[in-house]
């Protein structure tokens, strides 16, 4: 049943007392699955729908207990450390259950919307006191639309303020269905040049920009623009000017902009996923650079904040 409380989905984290993802004290639910493949992604473990194993090699002692329990026989001990054949691994998480050193952990678990809601609802008193609520993030909530809708509906019924954080890359029909239950949209703008967008994130940006306009003009939903600043990729003044102009002119100057400086927290995650070749090394922008960028947006009449 679409949108029912029993709808199942995959999440990889529920973060309580989330204070940088919308107004008030919030709980952020991180859903698995994302239609984009930004190569600077800071949560690469969130990209696929299926759960994924994290391996912290520093902690692995090569005891081999994971080898014995893996139903897919995907694990081997090589030079005293366990290694996972990622083509075989189905993310059952058996290895993480037996690992005595917390070297292996499973990112992602299947839950029902009701279970997520029960967890969210424990903090109801904090939301009401602070004007907070919940934020669905990810991944991207558009990757699991029915599951997202189910959670949002339950929250709506309980009087909890709802927000989603999305890249906006979805068929309008799907996005619109989700947005029926949303009070605030945190919307990402990664690059204004569609070719570049495709190069860096795997998809062009035309649908994304169109959807933004529809949300603002047709649905008239409150929007909050989130602009990641990735040194050397989207931080040229030309691109940032275009981004600011789009938000101010094609949407409206009442939209608040959050500039999110790139941080390196995601960089070691590819090692944990045993795909070190995908790891990037990008220098985070410094404060003076962020101040400059802030001015570009402000000169378009926008209210800007550095950081989420």
- Residues in contact with another protein by the rule CB under 8 A: 14-21, 24-25, 27-28, 42-43, 56, 58, 100, 102, 122-123, 125-126, 129-130, 132, 260-261, 263-265, 267-268, 271-272, 284, 305, 307-308
In the DSSP assignment, the letter for residue 283 is P
CB of 283 to another protein, least distance (A): 11
Query: Looking at beta carbons only, is 149 or 224 nearer to another protein?
Result: 224
CB of 149 to another protein, least distance (A): 23
d(CA 91, CA 94): 8
CB of 70 to another protein, least distance (A): 18
Query: Looking at beta carbons only, is 87 or 288 nearer to another protein?
Result: 288
CA-to-CA separations, 128 to 114, 134, 159, 162, 257, in angstroms, rounded: 20, 11, 9, 12, 25
CB of 217 to another protein, least distance (A): 28
CB of 14 to another protein, least distance (A): 8
Query: Looking at beta carbons only, is 26 or 149 nearer to another protein?
Result: 26
Query: Looking at beta carbons only, is 20 or 73 nearer to another protein?
Result: 20
What is the three-state SS of 213-265? Answer: HHHHHHHCCCEEEEEEECCCCCCCHHHHHHHHHHHHHHHCCCCEEEEEECCHH
The DSSP bridge partners found for residue 63 are none
Q: Would you say the C-alpha torsion 282, 283, 287, 291 has a positive or negative sign?
A: negative
Query: Looking at beta carbons only, is 153 or 258 nearer to another protein?
Result: 258
């Amino acid at each position: 049943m679409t949108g029912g409380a029993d709808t199942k989905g995959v999440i990889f984290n529920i973060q309580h007392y989330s204070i940088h993802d919308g107004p008030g004290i919030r709980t952020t639910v991180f859903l698995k699955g994302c239609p984009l493949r930004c190569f600077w992604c800071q949560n690469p473990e969130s990209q696929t729908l299926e759960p994924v194993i994290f391996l912290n090699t520093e902690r692995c002692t090569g005891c081999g207990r994971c080898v014995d329990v893996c139903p897919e026989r995907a694990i081997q001990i090589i030079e005293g450390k366990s290694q996972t054949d990622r083509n075989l691994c189905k993310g059952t998480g058996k290895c993480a259950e037996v690992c005595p050193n917390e070297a292996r952990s499973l990112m992602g678990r299947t839950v029902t919307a009701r279970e997520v809601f029960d967890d969210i609802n424990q903090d109801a008193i904090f939301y009401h006191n602070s004007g907070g609520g919940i934020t669905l993030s990810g991944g991207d909530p558009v990757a699991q639309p029915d599951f997202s809708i189910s959670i949002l509906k339950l929250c709506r019924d309980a009087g909890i303020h709802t927000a989603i954080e999305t890249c906006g890359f979805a068929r309008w029909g799907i996005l619109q269905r989700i947005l029926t239950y949303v009070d605030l949209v945190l919307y990402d703008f990664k690059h204004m040049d569609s070719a570049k967008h495709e190069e860096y994130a795997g998809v062009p940006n035309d649908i994304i920009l169109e959807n933004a306009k529809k949300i603002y003009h047709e649905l008239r939903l409150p929007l909050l623009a989130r602009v990641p600043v990735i040194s050397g990729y989207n931080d040229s003044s030309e691109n940032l000017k275009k981004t600011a102009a789009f938000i101010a002119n094609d949407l409206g100057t009442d939209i608040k902009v959050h500039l999110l400086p790139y941080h390196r927290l995601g960089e070691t995650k590819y090692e944990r996923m045993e795909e070190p070749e995908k790891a990037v090394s990008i220098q985070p922008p410094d404060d003076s650079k962020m101040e400059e960028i802030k001015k570009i947006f402000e000169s378009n009449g926008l209210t800007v904040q550095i950081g989420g």
